[in-house]
Each structure stands twice: as structure tokens, then as C-alpha cells.
A and B are shown apart, each in its own frame.
Chain A
Amino acid sequence: MTAPRRLDAPTGLQSGDHACWTFADAADLSAAVLPFLDEGRRLGEQLLLIGASRPELLRVLAPLPGRDELLADGQLQVHGTDAVYGSGDRFSPEDQVAAYRTLVAEARQRGRTGLRVAADVTPRARHGAGARRQLHVYEHLADAMMGAAPMTALCLYDAALGDDVLGPVTLLHPDQHSGSEALAHLSGRGLSLSLHGEVDVTLADDLLRALVDVACDAPGEVVLDLSALRFLDVAGARALARATRLLRGADVHLRLVGAPRTAARCLALFGLGGGDVVPE
């Protein structure tokens, strides 16, 4: 597992990369999508672009080399967000991830090297708190799936959604464009949940929301591996303590394991154990 990565450009991406990309306006969106898809074209990947309106997306794609051939050939597909993710209550994170899994398999059958998706997910984040909880679950499941399947994704979010909405979403991606530095990633890749990078006061609230949403699905024990955490401050430990308490209310027992030595000191301040503490 690697530390979260700050992306300067939407290129240099490969299978397994799952990027969170915030954009300011249509021009910004197009500046990200075009090089991302063009890279996939050169890699022989199946390409999928998802956004608010199909006609608008086709206009965005005009400068893409070989656009018409790609569309005619089926290597590039373009869909409206609602058509793919559904609107309102019809969205199911599990079904959506399963659908992508099928698309990956179909792309491989057609001889493509993998699936590359650029999706403007902004509309899903506008549906309110309940939909945002579902969105966190979705990003988490998608991230776990991409850890094991030949898929590359650029998740596009309108920067106007604000830090409250974008913070937890960003944490659920290993590749991040927003902010000056990628600090932390809450990952579902591997056998358990794991936290990578640095969690300080600036991320504490985001972590609390993302963690509670992705862990509260089913009663029972959820393991959070902290061994790849390079830094945890008191505020971050407090967020983990709050998450533990909130989850207990949903009959979920959050078990922290592998805390580095100093992080374990922080956790102990809240009466939390860090599992078998690992040396730094």
C-alpha cells in the first residue's frame, strides 16, 4: 500500500488508480477529461465518460483526437450521470460497483486492456446528507474494487460543493487533486479498512464522516489498520474515538490495529488501544 498521492495532471495514471479531481467550471472539466481519455485511448482501454448531460459531454469531447472513430467503434461511450447512477433513491452503491465490474469484464473480452472512466459525480453529491452517505459507501467500494481490477477512474467533483462535502470524498481516493498536498487515504483495499498518510486536525471531521459512513453498513466487527499511518494528532485520535462511539450505536465494533508508537500515545489519551503497536 502506498501513501496518498497528490495529482498535478490527470495523466500518468494506470490500472488501479482512483483519482478525485475537483474542477471550477466547464473549461476546467474539459481540461482534465481530454488528456485523461486520450491517455486511455493510447493504452487501448475501454473509455467511458459520464456527466450531467450527454450533448454537453459530446461538445467537451470535440478536441479529442479520433473522437468520432472512438464513438463509432464503441471504444468510447458517453452517458448522462442519472442514466448511469440513477437519480434520487434509485442509486445503489453495491449495484453500481457490480455494474462497473461487469463493464471491466466486457472490456477485457473485447480485447481492451482495461476500463477507464471519467465521471462527473457532482449531481450525486447534491442530493443531501443521505445521498452523500451513500456516495461515501460507493467511493469506498469502488476504491476497493479498483485495487483488484484493471480499472482507472477520474471522479470529477465541482469545487463549488465546498470543503464539507469534498473533504470526506477526497479521503476515499488514493489519488487527489484538491488541496496543496494529499495527506490521507481511507482505503478498503486489502483485507480490512486501512488509513494511510497523515491525519491531523484539518482532516479530523472528514475522517469521522467518511469512516462512520463506510463502516456502519453491517453490525459486527470492523478492523481499521493503522500501520500505514505516518502521523496522527490529538484531533485525529479524537475523531477515531468519536467514530468508535457512533459506530457502537449501530452495533459496529471498530477495532483499531497496528497503530505506530506515537499514534498509540494519542489514542491512549482517549482510552483507545491501538492493537499490537508497531515500531515507527
Chain B
Amino acid sequence: MSDVRPTGDWDGTALAHEAFVFGADQELVDRVVPFVLEGLSRGEPVLVVAGERVRSLLAGELGPDLDRLTAFTAAETWWRGGHRTLHAYDRDLRALQAVAPTWRLAAEPTWLARDDGREWSRFEAVANRCYAALPYYSLCLHDRERLPEPVLDAVARTHPLTWGGSAPVPAPAYEDPERFLRSVHPAWDRRPARAAVAALTTPREARRAVSAAALDWWPARVGEVVQAAHELVLNALRVAPFVEVSSWTDEGTLVVEVADSGPGLPDETLGYVPPPTKPDSPRGMWLAWSLADDVAVDSHPAGTAVRLFFHHR
């Protein structure tokens, strides 16, 4: 095992993001234990966030070294929906960045096994871009037995590195984050003829229109629907003189579409990127994305349209 290089050529100055899919106990131990020990030997903070199986295996193997970990945390209680989970993660990262020049993390997002946890792959994809400059190695652990095939497929497409047996290697299935997002967002079907459509020039008009549509659908979620649509309308009115707001329901799901003739969305990942802490930075897309159950973007040079989907639940 002396030829194993747990982080390959990683020099600790930028993000390395690897997916490691494991089956047998020994497979996991052989990958994670050297990874942890290398970090400790380099004096880096080493954090482990994982499910029960992984934690007990590592605890047995690491023995007294367990106490040298900066964190050894249960993953089961972490999931609070994609946006809130990432926001909490983001705060932890910023806190680490303030005190450590580089660090490493072995994390098992156990919630990927839940139906409502699958959206996490989108955040994994976007992390490759928004955390690219953060100096840490993120070794993501995935239990082959627990995760269904489509989730493992998403894992392969959202991690630029995979384990090559003695060092991390580029993952052949890795995709650009925007391409990945487009593939998992709802298909951009034609807007149905029954949709209510209005061309509006002020955010308050748009709020009235969206509020009326949401009230007809499900009063309990009017606040969230109006809030999310409002932020998109503001973005649209920054680049175009008017905005087209339309809405319809589809088998109980309310769809709100905000379309403008502006120059197109520069970055389709923005709704998944946690806002920086400084108050001036924009937060509207993050908020809209977090309030809606799903989104879809149709962006081209002649304009942008965003659809927000709200499920009746």
C-alpha cells in the first residue's frame, strides 16, 4: 500500500472534489483511513461527516487518532432541504477558511438515499464552480448498497475526480455544472394555452397577478410563491423594460414563468450558490430557488425565462 497517494497531486490550494463509491467494508477503510492519516500527518484539519456504518468502521480503524479529527459528526441529522443544508455547510466552510490555510473533509451525504434528498446532486455540481477556489479536499462517500442507480449516475456526473486504485483520477462521466442542471431540471415543455399571461412593468403589479393565481391554487403557499416570483421579476426588470409573467397548474403543481427580453442569464447555477456574507451581494435567485420545489431555465441571447414549480403537499 506504500504506493497509495490518497490525494494524488493535490497541493492544497484549491478544491478537489472526489466521489468514492464503496461496497465492502474493507474497500471503504482502504480509501478513507489513508486519506485521514495523510491529512493528520500534514497538520491539516480533518473532518468526517458520515452515516452510522462509516463512522463505526472508521472509529474502529482509527483508534486513538479519532480524537485528532477536527470533526467526527453524524450525517443523519444534517439534511434540512438542499438550500438550508448547503447554507449551513457554507457557513462551516467560511469559518474553516478563516482559521486554516487548507483542510480535508470525508463526507457521506446519506440523504441522497431519500426522495427529497436527491436534489443534493445539483449542489454537488454547482460546488465545483462556486467553491473552486476554496483550499480543501472533499472526499464524498457513497454507499453502493443504499443508493439507487439514478443517484449513483448523478454522483458520477457531479464529481470531477474518482478513485483510480492508488490515486484520484479524472472522472470520465463528469459534466459541466450547467449541463448537469439542465439535464435534471423539468423538461421545457410548451407553455399551455390555458396559462394566464400578463406583461407587467412594476414588481407590485406582478405581485398582485401572481398572488391571484396562487390564491386560486392553494392559499397556504401564496407567500412563498409571491416572494419567489417577485425576486425573479426584479431581476428581469433590471435588464428589460417589461416582464411577462404567466402561470398555470399542472396536476396540482403550480407553475409560474417569468420571462424577459434581456441579454440572457450569465450563469444558470446562481440559484444554487449560497450568497456571500457581505450584504450588498444579490440573494434573490438563491431565495427564489430555495422557496420553489423545482425550477427550469430557458436562457438564450434573445431573453431568459425561468419557471418555478410549486407542489401541492
Residues on A close to B: CB < 8 A? 181, 183, 198, 200-202, 231, 233-235, 238, 241-242, 245, 260-262, 265-266, 269-271, 280
The interface residues of chain A lying within 8 Å CB-to-CB of B227 are 231, 233, 262, 265-266
The interface residues of chain A lying within 8 Å CB-to-CB of B277 are 271
A231 touches B279 (CB 8 A): no
B204 touches A183 (CB 8 A): yes
B286 adjacent to chain A (CB < 8 Å): yes
B204 touches A234 (CB 8 A): no
Closest to B226 in A: A231
Among B202, B224, B230, B290, contact of A233 (Cβ-Cβ < 8 Å): B230
Given the known interface contacts A201-B234, A234-B284, A234-B287, the answer about A262 and B203 at a Cβ–Cβ threshold of 8 Å is no
B203 touches A200 (CB 8 A): yes
A269 touches B204 (CB 8 A): no
**Residue among B223, B282, B290 facing the most chain A CB atoms (10 A cut-off):** B223
Question: Would you mind naming 28 contact pairs between A and B with Cβ atoms under 8 Å apart?
Answer: A181-B204, A183-B204, A198-B204, A198-B207, A200-B203, A200-B204, A200-B207, A201-B234, A202-B202, A202-B203, A231-B226, A233-B203, A233-B227, A233-B230, A234-B283, A235-B234, A238-B279, A238-B280, A241-B279, A242-B279, A245-B279, A262-B223, A262-B291, A266-B227, A269-B275, A270-B279, A271-B277, A280-B222
Taking the nearest CB of chain B, how far is it from the CB of A167, in angstroms?
15
B38 adjacent to chain A (CB < 8 Å): no
The interface residues of chain A lying within 8 Å CB-to-CB of B275 are 269
A265 touches B203 (CB 8 A): no
The interface residues of chain A lying within 8 Å CB-to-CB of B231 are 233-234
CA distance A234 to B284 in the complex (A): 6
CA distance A280 to B279 in the complex (A): 26
Interface positions, chain B 212-260, Cβ under 8 Å from A, are: 222-224, 226-227, 230-231, 234
- Interface range for B: 20 to 34
The interface residues of chain A lying within 8 Å CB-to-CB of B222 are 280
The interface residues of chain B lying within 8 Å CB-to-CB of A198 are 204, 207
A265 touches B226 (CB 8 A): no
Interface positions, chain B 258-280, Cβ under 8 Å from A, are: 275, 277, 279-280
Taking the nearest CB of chain B, how far is it from the CB of A34, in angstroms?
32
Among B207, B280, B284, B291, contact of A265 (Cβ-Cβ < 8 Å): B291
A280 touches B223 (CB 8 A): yes
Among A181, A260, A265, contact of B287 (Cβ-Cβ < 8 Å): A265
Taking the nearest CB of chain A, how far is it from the CB of B215, in angstroms?
13
The interface residues of chain A lying within 8 Å CB-to-CB of B286 are 269
The interface residues of chain B lying within 8 Å CB-to-CB of A201 are 203, 234
A266 touches B287 (CB 8 A): yes
CA distance A262 to B214 in the complex (A): 15
The interface residues of chain B lying within 8 Å CB-to-CB of A280 are 222-223
Binary A-proximity of B186-224 (CB < 8 A = 1, otherwise 0) = 000000000000000011100100000000000000111
The interface residues of chain B lying within 8 Å CB-to-CB of A262 are 223-224, 227, 291
The interface residues of chain A lying within 8 Å CB-to-CB of B283 are 234, 238, 269
Knowing that A231-B207, A233-B227 are A-B contacts, what are 9 other residue pairs whose CB atoms are under 8 Å apart, sorted by A's residue number? A198-B204, A231-B226, A233-B231, A234-B231, A238-B279, A262-B223, A262-B227, A265-B227, A266-B287
The interface residues of chain B lying within 8 Å CB-to-CB of A183 are 204
Taking the nearest CB of chain A, how far is it from the CB of B21, in angstroms?
35
A200 touches B230 (CB 8 A): yes
The interface residues of chain A lying within 8 Å CB-to-CB of B226 are 231
CA distance A241 to B277 in the complex (A): 12
